[in-house]
Amino acid sequence: MESCVNGSLDKMIVKWNENPHVGVVMTSGGYPEKYEVGNTIKGLESETPNSLVFHAGTTHNPNTGEIVTAGGRVLTVVGWGESIADAKSNAYNRVDTIYFDGFNYRTDISD
């Protein structure tokens, strides 16, 4: 993102990871219809091996300094590993560290 903002994408070195990846979307309560917003997201600071969290429907609450829900599709948690089973395990291990009121996610991704 920094390279995009700075206009230096042409100087960026991209590294690829050939391992399987699995992404799990965490949604707000009520999604896909009328969904909840403003719920504090806990556990984002937790790290588990071979996983990343991508923000989508989130925002910063300037009054509390917390990250809160601001959309239906709140986070995408990605895990990777030597196999699809490892990637799935790493993704769901990270999902298990994150909490916000009313959250939902599918449990059958990569089955």
**Tens place of pLDDT per residue across the chain (111 aa):** 788 899 998 988 888 899 999 999 999 999 999 999 999 999 999 989 999 999 999 999 999 999 999 999 999 999 999 999 999 999 999 999 999 999 999 999 999
Domain ranges of the chain: 19-95
Q: Give the chain as a 3 state SS string.
A: CHHHHHCCHHHCCCCCCCCCEEEEEEECCCCCCCCCCCCECECCCCCCCCEEEEECCEEECCCCCCEEECCCEEEEEEEECCCHHHHHHHHHHHHCCCECCCCECCCCCCC
How many whole angstroms separate alpha carbon 29 and alpha carbon 92? 19
CA distance 69 to 107: 21
Give the largest CA-CA distance in the chain. Answer: 43
Architecture of domain 19-95: Alpha-Beta Complex (3.90)
pTM to 2 decimals? Answer: 0.88
